[in-house]
């Protein structure tokens, strides 16, 4: 197979002397926000994505930029790049339960085999490499603030296992490469993140609630709504990821917003942000749904000088703006068809 050579990629072969940064999963929700920030800071960006859950519309604004190129590629297949690569972010994998459960074998292969592909590339290039791991590696936690020493409570044979165990195995691979093979590895344990560019039908709770409210539908609460999550705004998360990449820390670091909400409280916050009454309907709780999730971010504070800046109420404003534009476009399309 011919290596991909970004130096001859259209339109201009990534000119300049900035770092060459490869973002796998760069057309996804979080990956595309990261690509934007990397470009803003003068880097040259190779965006790799199989477009399974990512979408070219997420990077459409950047595609005329001379310092980014796009490679359509599934990272479970070998990836060869000609020319130097300085940093690699592994952001590739659907993160929403309905999406990663659609093809569970592909999900676990993306986590494990995809990480192998990128670690091999990093070893060949001498590149620093960061894994987007997840709070899911804690499973259904038995402690209320999850710190990095907590080993988790994960079901290996449930519907979430393809993602949870895939990411756990990926962490082990990264740790082996970092601890024993001299690779410059970084491991970010990402807690629930939201913001513009989430897909309206992503299936996660923030996008579901906002889109349901905008469409005038009842908000679907799974179970009794007493389970908790902590929601981090996307720009804060991107900042944390870049700080971790720039740090010397090889052991896992939690990145998330410690503000903890029940799903009932989230529904209330969405209602307040929209300023209109919304109905609520209750649905069965999915199997193995974690009862609580709240990050201990002491290590991120100490090692990276990082803490999220945006509260949930603040972050919901631009998020609602993003979804409002999408729902209005949907309505226009429906009206035109009628
Ligand atoms: N959830 C909900 N209604 C929805 C979607 C999700 O009540 O329409 C719940 C879900 O059961 C879970 C929480 O919201 O307890 C967060 O779900 P999400 O899929 O966003 O993320 P994850 O479970 O992976 O943290």
Is pLDDT of 337 > 70?
A: no
Is pLDDT of 338 > 70?
A: no
Which residue pairs from 272-281 have beta carbons closer than 8 angstroms and sit at least 24 positions apart in sequence? 272/313, 273/313, 273/316, 273/317, 273/320, 274/210, 274/213, 274/214, 274/320, 276/213, 278/212, 278/213, 278/218, 278/219, 279/218, 279/219, 280/218, 280/219, 280/221, 280/225, 281/218, 281/219, 281/220, 281/221
- State the architecture of 17-337 in CATH terms: 3-Layer(aba) Sandwich (3.40)
> What's the rounded mean pLDDT across residues 292-313?
98
Segments of the chain assigned E as strands: 4-5, 20-24, 44-49, 68-72, 81-82, 87-90, 128-134, 185-190, 193-194, 219-222, 228-230, 232-233, 253-255, 260-262, 280-283
163 included as an active-site residue: yes
Which residue's alpha carbon is at the smallest distance from atom 6 of ligand 1? 205
| pLDDT of amino acid 334 | 76
For residues 307 and 240, the answer to whether their CB atoms sit within 8 Å is no
Average pLDDT of every residue of the chain: 96
- The tens digit of pLDDT for each residue in 40-72 reads 999 999 999 999 999 999 999 998 899 999 999
- The tens digit of pLDDT for each residue in 188-243 reads 999 999 999 999 999 999 999 999 999 999 999 999 999 999 999 999 999 999 99
First to last CA, the chain: 49
- The tens digit of pLDDT for each residue in 89-120 reads 999 999 999 999 999 999 999 999 999 999 99
For residues 141 and 295, the answer to whether their CB atoms sit within 8 Å is no
Residue in the structure block whose two tokens are 């199989």 = 50
CA of 85 to the centre of ligand 1 (A): 37
Question: Which of the four pLDDT bands, split at 50, 70 and 90, describes residue 11?
Answer: confident
Q: Would you report the helix, strand and coil content of the chain in percent, each value rounded to 5?
A: 40, 20, 40
Is pLDDT of 325 > 80?
A: yes
Q: Where are the domains of the chain?
A: 17-337
Q: Which atom of ligand 1 is nearest to the CA of 208?
A: 8
Mutate to test the pocket of ligand 1, among 199, 201, 205, 211 (most ligand atoms within 8 A of CB): 205
Cβ neighbours, 10 Å, residue 291: 12
Instruction: Report the candidate in 122, 278, 254, 282 with the shortest Cα–Cα distance to residue 191.
Output: 254
- pTM across the whole model: 0.97
- The tens digit of pLDDT for each residue in 127-171 reads 999 999 999 999 999 999 999 999 999 999 999 999 999 999 999
Which residue's alpha carbon is at the smallest distance from atom 3 of ligand 1? 221
d(CA 82, CA 294): 42
Query: Rounded to 5 degrees, what are φ and ψ at 74?
Result: -90, 125
d(CA 254, CA 142): 17
- The tens digit of pLDDT for each residue in 237-282 reads 999 999 999 999 999 999 999 999 999 999 999 999 999 899 999 9
For residues 125 and 85, the answer to whether their CB atoms sit within 8 Å is yes
CA of 205 to the centre of ligand 1 (A): 5
| pLDDT of amino acid 332 | 83
For residues 21 and 91, the answer to whether their CB atoms sit within 8 Å is no
């Amino acid at each position: 197979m011919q290596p991909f050579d970004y130096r001859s990629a259209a339109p201009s072969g990534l000119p300049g002397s900035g770092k060459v940064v490869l973002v796998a999963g760069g057309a996804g929700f979080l990956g595309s926000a990261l690509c934007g920030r990397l470009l803003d800071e003068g880097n040259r960006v190779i965006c790799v994505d199989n477009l399974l859950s990512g979408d070219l519309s997420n990077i459409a604004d950047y595609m005329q930029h001379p310092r980014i190129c796009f490679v359509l590629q599934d990272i479970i297949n070998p990836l060869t790049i000609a020319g130097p690569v300085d940093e690699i972010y592994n952001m590739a994998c659907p993160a929403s339960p309905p999406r990663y459960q659609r093809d569970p074998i592909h999900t676990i292969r993306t986590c494990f085999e995809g990480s192998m592909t990128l670690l091999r590339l990093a070893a060949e290039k001498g590149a620093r490499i960061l894994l987007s791991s997840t709070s899911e590696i804690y499973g259904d936690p038995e402690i209320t603030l999850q710190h990095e020493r907590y080993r988790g409570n994960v079901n290996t044979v449930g519907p979430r296992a393809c993602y949870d165990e895939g990411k756990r195995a990926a962490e082990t691979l990264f740790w082996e490469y970092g601890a024993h093979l001299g690779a410059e590895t970084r491991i970010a344990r990402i807690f629930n993140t939201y913001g513009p560019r989430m897909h309206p039908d992503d299936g996660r709770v923030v996008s579901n609630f906002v889109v349901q409210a905008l469409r005038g539908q009842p908000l679907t609460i799974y179970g009794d709504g007493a389970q908790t999550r902590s929601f981090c705004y996307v720009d804060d998360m991107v900042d944390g990821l870049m700080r971790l990449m720039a740090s010397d820390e090889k052991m896992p670091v939690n990145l998330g917003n410690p503000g903890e909400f029940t799903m009932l409280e989230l529904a209330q916050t969405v209602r307040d942000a929209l300023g209109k009454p919304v109905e609520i309907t209750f649905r069965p709780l999915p199997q193995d749904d974690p009862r609580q999730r709240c990050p201990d971010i002491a290590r991120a504070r100490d090692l990276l000088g990082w803490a999220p800046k945006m509260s949930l109420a603040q972050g919901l404003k631009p998020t609602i703006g993003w979804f409002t534009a999408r729902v209005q476009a949907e309505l226009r399309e429906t009206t035109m068809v009628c």
